[in-house]
Amino acid sequence: MFPLLLSLAHAGIGPHQTLVVYNADDDDSTETALQYAEARDLHESHLCGIRGLTVEDQREMDLEDAYPLILEPYLTCLDALPQPEDISTVVTVRGLPVRIVLNSQRSTSTETALRLAHTIDRFDEPYLSPNNMRSERFWSTPQNPFMDLMTVFEEDFDPEIERSGFFTLSSQLARGQRVPGPFTGYVEPPPFEFFTMHWQEWKPIFSRLDGFDHEDARALIQRALDADGTFPDAEFLCMRGIETQFNNNRNRDGECKHAIEMLQAQGHNATWIPEYDPELSGRTVIGLYTGSDELHDIIDNLTFAPGAIFDNLISSTSAPRNLFCDDTGQCPENEIRVSVAHAIRAGATGAHGSIGTQVSRHSPNAGSLMLYANGFTFGEAWVYSHPHLPDGTIFGDPLTVPFGERPTVSASSSWDEDERLRDVIEADHPDGIAQIAVYHEGRLVAEGTPNQLPDVGELEVPHDEPIELLIVATASAPPPVTDWISSSVALNPGVVGWTRTTVTVSSVPEGGCGCQSSPWVPGALLPVLALFALRRRRP
């Protein structure tokens, strides 16, 4: 079996694990970054502003220029965090380059270049080194260590429908052969080297807030908030692609059909369309996967529900010229094939766009729809399903979770040293709470199961003054899926909920009783809720 995921104690994707990278010299980019940080309760230290970029740089840059201007400042931002290894999601913002030119033969997205900044070669040198850049064997998008391409059950797929060997996830999930847990960014070292590199154990998810303009980028934020925990009844839709010279547009179709069948078995609203329908319209979708360079009218004639994800299995959909409008308002200014930004403007909450031509190895498996429908975040569903790390771009908020109920979290405003954390923090979820973690100034100060949290007095935080804390709760695993090929598939998305609130930790007066305080009651929460109701938007 391919490398297994490690389950760290503080699993689950939330604001404590998210870093935002943006163009600090661009007012629009800064505003979008701040809007996202407020929406998801990020600490100010999790904002990474990049300076020195020109307007032309926002389209593409050579790696030689991008390394000192973007990659090194990004790594510096990580190093400045109290616990940089906790970052498992990185959100980039419009205003950074769309594409990084690696050498005369290869380009990649800025997000992939940032991801490769975490990769070293077999000689323990940075993978993005001049020697590797000049090598004909350089491969900017190596095999994804979070996905298994080794295990295939051909009997699960319709032999009459095209499918390449890159698309296997739906079968692995349905048989319980691949059971991902909450994403942490960590993998065990792989059993062999990929070309000239080997992995460090840490790989964040990368996604981008972008579209034709910053209004599109900000709309992605609002749609994600609107989608969380809604359990939409909109349609998961897979439609057979259009055959082309290279047949790439249909390479996912066999797995798409199988994934739809598994979703139907669970009772989801899901449809497989066996032949491409250029007049498809009038549907409300939560997911649309197909492959066509004739998709414009279909995109415009569908309704994308909040949380809807989209992928079109064709090349160059997120090329720089597909993400910019001209001076007359024509969007895009000079389109190649079908711009991914069309789907974003039409209402998609998450989308994948390709920079290059090898789209099969970089596009998400249809099994991602099964993960998404079972409570995994948008970012997790796709990071577990790309055969190779994408050289293109994932657009949207990776924390989006329409099919998962976030735990509710609250806290009293006054804590005494001799109280237990479990008495001043309230967290609830239908499946129970697996873990609670408390952060101060971006630093983890306490974590444990609800019954194993420390005393308030054990927290290394200031006393006798108001302090701001981020409190994160992770839900326990839901009941196993019983409707797939295996009669019991134990998926554990580890959905998180959180609150950022102000409390005062009071010292016990000298000579005081030192006894345990009475259990916290809901009425004690009312003042802090009133104070922060306008400021905080709970996902």
Res 372 pLDDT > 50? yes
Distance CA 357, CA 339 (A): 14
Residue 366 clears pLDDT 70, i.e. is over it: yes
Which pLDDT does position 139 carry in this prediction?
54
pLDDT given for residue 416 in this prediction: 95
466-523 residue pLDDT tens: 999 999 999 999 999 999 999 999 999 999 999 999 999 998 765 554 444 434 334 3
Q: Residues spanned by CATH 2.60.40 within the chain? A: 408-532
H-type alpha helices, 327-442: 340-346, 359-362, 367-372, 378-383, 421-424
Domain 408-532 fold is Immunoglobulin-like (2.60.40)
The pLDDT score that the predictor gives to residue 14 is 93
d(CA 351, CA 353): 7
Is residue 12 within 8 A of residue 162, CB to CB? The reply is no
> Please, what sign has the CA dihedral across residues 82, 88, 93, 98?
positive
Chain centroid to CA 521: 36
Across 441-478, where does the E strand assignment appear? 443-448, 466-475
Q: Cα(224)–Cα(539) distance, rounded to whole angstroms?
A: 8
Distance CA 539, CA 536 (A): 9
Q: What is the pTM of this model?
A: 0.89
Q: How confident is the model at residue 143 (pLDDT cuts 50, 70, 90)?
A: confident
What is the pLDDT, as a whole number, of residue 1? Answer: 30
CA distances (Å), origin 56, targets 69, 96, 279, 510, 529:
14, 10, 38, 64, 45
For residue 537, pLDDT over 50 is answered with no
- Please compute Rg for the chain using Cα positions: 23
pLDDT at position 8 over 60:
no
> For the residues of 244-309, what is the DSSP string, one character each?
-SS-GGGTTHHHHHHHHHHHHHHT--EEEESS--TT--S-EEEEEEE--S--HHHHHTSEEEEEEE
What are the b/e assignments for 296-324, b being 16+ CB within 10 Å? eebbeebebbbbbbbbbbbbbbbbbebbb
Three-state DSSP class for residue 473 = strand
Is the torsion defined by CA of 280, 242, 390, 317 positive or negative?
Answer: negative
Instruction: Output 295 or 8, whichever has higher pLDDT.
Output: 295
In the predicted structure, residue 56 carries a pLDDT above the cut 60? yes
